Amino acid sequence: MTPDTPALHPLADPHDAESPLEFDFIEGARAVFEEKIVFNRVLGLKITTIGSQRVCAQIPMRPDLVGHYGYNRIHGGVISAALDALGGLAVLGAIGARYRDESVDQRLDRFSKLGTIDLRIDYLRPGIGAHFELTAEVLRLGSRVASTRMSFLGADGRLLSTGTGAYIVS
Amino acid sequence: MTPDTPALHPLADPHDAESPLEFDFIEGARAVFEEKIVFNRVLGLKITTIGSQRVCAQIPMRPDLVGHYGYNRIHGGVISAALDALGGLAVLGAIGARYRDESVDQRLDRFSKLGTIDLRIDYLRPGIGAHFELTAEVLRLGSRVASTRMSFLGADGRLLSTGTGAYIVS
Amino acid sequence: MTPDTPALHPLADPHDAESPLEFDFIEGARAVFEEKIVFNRVLGLKITTIGSQRVCAQIPMRPDLVGHYGYNRIHGGVISAALDALGGLAVLGAIGARYRDESVDQRLDRFSKLGTIDLRIDYLRPGIGAHFELTAEVLRLGSRVASTRMSFLGADGRLLSTGTGAYIVS
Amino acid sequence: MTPDTPALHPLADPHDAESPLEFDFIEGARAVFEEKIVFNRVLGLKITTIGSQRVCAQIPMRPDLVGHYGYNRIHGGVISAALDALGGLAVLGAIGARYRDESVDQRLDRFSKLGTIDLRIDYLRPGIGAHFELTAEVLRLGSRVASTRMSFLGADGRLLSTGTGAYIVS
């Protein structure tokens, strides 16, 4: 890597290889999401990928997150909360790519104006396991509304829940 | 009160005056919901009413529940998680009334078999305040599926979010 | 009624008595909804009330609308289509009241820019009967997004299906 | 093809090559869906594939289906109605494969007991074109509830709307 090549953030999406999101944008998005949004810390959400089309994260299972005491099953509310949050991050990733003429700060500032309009979660199978994998992709980023699709998977890749969200953007 | 009159649970719904849920049923439902479902404690969900048609709860605001650092706004995921949980409790209340020929334990046992099929949350207005009021009502309790409608309100009664849920029952 | 009192449209909502929508606005909304939106005619949607907070309509049952041949049950798609359409009309009613400083034509023109973002329908009970009653109310009219709640009822007032919709407005 | 090889139905899904659905099952499913469910005829739904995991269909645009007179756009209600119906057909396809120990008639009879619990539709882009392509896949077929995901595409394969449904099965 020459001094002219910007460093790639470890969370950058390999699918964006031709036109990756900037290091500072990804780092800023990660910091807001994992650190400033307190409840995301309660959920234990750890981002693994931030791309222009999709984002990925993990949640390690903890006793705090139990919904069903009998089976050590994760609470459905952890799933809905995490998929809602991750859908919003996916929209931010898409914004990061769409508005490259804006500064990193300007684009990150759009995160604070982003709001969930509504959310649907389908619970397909019980969430039992040592950790979970989450993905969110943007189906459409409009000038006012973005639509996303989210998946909540077991450590073995089995689809446990799906989500759909609409977000207001500006 | 004579020894023959069963005590009314403080969480009993006044609307059920003619045929209230038994003290032991309400107490059992409360204990499972508030104590055994760990993540409900993380949310800070406190039940205020358990009735045959509707249930009510409160959530005091806490720093842990913040979603938007700028405005001290409650995380949308707290709302979705709490409304999902409360919809399930409403179904249990309806089960408590429907199956009075069963013992309290038999009916409470149905709670552990109850599962959310899917959930929709509409975020109408930002959730800002010292505490929030939640209600859930059962639109239909079938032999296999129950449908509920939930509301998330500010301390002033303003409607902040609504929810709709489908639950599998047995 | 003196010559100075504007005529009340027969579809005006009695709840709006203090500040009813104008005759021409209601008539314009009705004409677009019932006549220009062709598929609404296929559904047989007849408006009975256009108000600032809610709208109501009827659908007479017809052989064309059958979904389940065995039971002469109305097709779930008729329900989703009709509730989607009626939710949009409810938003228009709210727009009619909110933007009274605009001309009737300006406000009606907003109808053509209104679009459904997403829709949820819950089917509670089978739709069997000679006709059906529909209502839609606006939960919130924002500057960019409106949220509505809809009900599909039997002729006896029994709740058969419910809907929730988000609409983009401008 | 020898007399021992059962004929493959033209609507059979190539993905099911190793274990295709029987000719009679597919033909029976098609006949009920396209002919007996009257409103599907109003929508103009034509099945192109019936498989164990997914089903596909087409809708030719017709003046009857117009929702927005200005743009000759298809009515959102046609989309929701068609995706609801196609999700149900996808569940039937999965039932056809799951219960091969039952007769064709027994499995087709399950179609008449199948009901939509709830439905979500996301409208991403305006539906304009000479015809539309629809697909539905089964995310999970349980003993009581099935979950599906549906897509509504332009003739060019562009994603216009998505749907998610839950169905009661027996």
d(CA A58, CA A125): 18
Which superfamily does CATH assign the domain made up of C22-168 to? Hotdog Thioesterase (3.10.129.10)
Other CB atoms within a 10 A radius of the CB of residue D2 amount to 4
**What average pLDDT does this structure show over C36-43?**
92
Asked if the Cβ–Cβ distance from B76 to A81 is below 8 Å, we say yes
Give contacts of A 132-151 with D, CB under 8 A: 139-140, 147, 149
pLDDT of residue C3: 56
Selection from C97, C88, C104 nearest residue C45 by Cα: C88
**Residue A156 burial (CB < 10 Å; 0-12/13-18/19+)?**
exposed
CB–CB of D47/D92 below 8 Å? Answer: no
CB–CB of A66/B39 below 8 Å? Answer: yes
Phi, psi for B168 (deg, rounded to 5): -90, 135
pLDDT tens digit string along D7-28? 899 999 999 999 999 999 999 9
List, in order, residues 6 or more apart from B140 with CB less than 8 Å away. B146, B147, C124, C125, C159
Return the CATH number of the domain spanning residue range D14-168.
3.10.129.10
Q: How many CB pairs (< 8 A) connect A and B?
A: 122
Judge whether A53 is closer than 8 Å to chain C, CB to CB.
no
Which residue has tokens 């639509």? A147
Nearest Cα residue in chain A from B84: A77
Residues of chain C neighbouring B167 (CB-CB closer than 8 A): none
Q: How far is C83 from chain A (nearest CA, A)?
A: 18
**What average pLDDT does this structure show over C21-44?**
94
**Residue D106 burial (CB < 10 Å; 0-12/13-18/19+)?**
exposed
* ipTM for the predicted complex: 0.92
CB–CB of A39/B67 below 8 Å? Answer: yes
Judge whether C124 is closer than 8 Å to chain B, CB to CB.
yes
Judge whether A113 is closer than 8 Å to chain C, CB to CB.
no
Count CA atoms within 13 Å of residue D93 on its CB side: 32
- pLDDT band per the 50, 70, 90 thresholds, residue B5: low
**Residue of C43, C64, C80, C152 for testing the chain D interface, max D β-carbons within 10 Å:** C80
Asked if the Cβ–Cβ distance from C164 to B140 is below 8 Å, we say no
Residues of chain A neighbouring D139 (CB-CB closer than 8 A): 122, 124, 159, 162
d(CA B168, CA C78): 26
- pLDDT band per the 50, 70, 90 thresholds, residue B146: very high
Among A116-120, D15-19, D119-123, the range scoring the smallest mean pLDDT is D15-19
Judge whether C63 is closer than 8 Å to chain D, CB to CB.
yes
pLDDT of residue D2: 53
d(CA C90, CA C136): 6
Question: What are the beta bridge partners of residue C129?
Answer: none
d(CA D95, CA D97): 5
Domain with residues A24-168, CATH architecture: Roll (3.10)
Judge whether B15 is closer than 8 Å to chain C, CB to CB.
no
Please measure the distance between the N-terminal and C-terminal CA atoms of chain A and give it in whole angstroms. 36
- pLDDT band per the 50, 70, 90 thresholds, residue B1: very low
* CA-to-CA separations, D32 to C24, C81, C89, D101, in angstroms, rounded: 46, 22, 34, 21
d(CA A78, CA B39): 8
CA torsion sign for C86, C87, C89, C94 is positive
List, in order, residues 6 or more apart from B123 with CB less than 8 Å away. A115, A116, A117, A118, A119, B76, B79, B160, B161
pLDDT of residue C105: 96
CB–CB of D59/D77 below 8 Å? Answer: no
For chain C, what are the domain ranges?
A: 22-168
